[in-house]
A = this chain, B = another copy of it.
Amino acid sequence: MSFTPLTEQLIEALQVLPGVGSRSAERMALQLLERDRTGAESLTRALRSALDGVRQCERCRALSESELCTLCSDDDRDHSLICVVETPQDREAIELSGGFRGDYFILQGHLSPIDGIGPEELGIPQLIDRVRDGGIQEVVLATNATMEGEATAHYLIEQLGPLGTAVSRLAQGVSRGELGRVDSGTLSHALTDRKQVSFEHD
């Protein structure tokens, strides 16, 4: 099928969407240009507004429309506790458990050297800086109980150890697998029973 150059560009660009290959992108482009220009206009405007208006919270890396997200700017929360999670979904799961009233830090992934995801990509230097600046009583590591999550937690323990701040991990008790699938009760319990990490230099 032959398309005009700008239509070709759109088909190409649509393939940044997860799960969209060249055939679906063709179908999408034709739908937008031939049959639903109004929808295409709203989509363009929504993308523009979201790209301009939605950024990462400067403290926790959650998506936010202001410098600090709603949780980080909530004075009722204990800003001396930081719970480190891999994704916003994990933060949501812990919030629903009701077992934690501190701040979060969202890595937006886990260490994965093969995919070029190192500490920089996960914002880890930013987390270390915040702990180094003081005022933090404890960092709770709540990465997934998967190989990559464990490796990420291990790296964080190495980095946070020398700073003298307490570091803990979720208690044994969370089932093996993705944190987002653990029920609220188990999560809440695991938070209460969290274990302090002892460093080799102790």
Contacts and interface: CB of A to CB of B under 8 A. Distances in A.
B51 A108 contact: no
Interface string A94-126: 000000000000001100000000000000000
Contacts of A63: 3-4, 7, 30, 33-34
B47 A51 contact: no
Interface stretch (A37-45, A148-156, A183-191): A37-45
B18 A27 contact: yes
Interface residues of A, number: 52
Interface stretch (A9-17, A73-81, A131-139, A164-172): A9-17
Contacts of A42: 13, 16
Residue picked from A1, A3, A35, A54, most chain B C-beta under 10 Å: A54
Nearest to A19: B24
Contacts of A16: 31-32, 36, 39-40, 42-43
Interface of A: 1-7, 9-10, 12-14, 16-19, 24, 27-37, 39-51, 53-54, 56, 63-65, 88-89, 92, 108-109
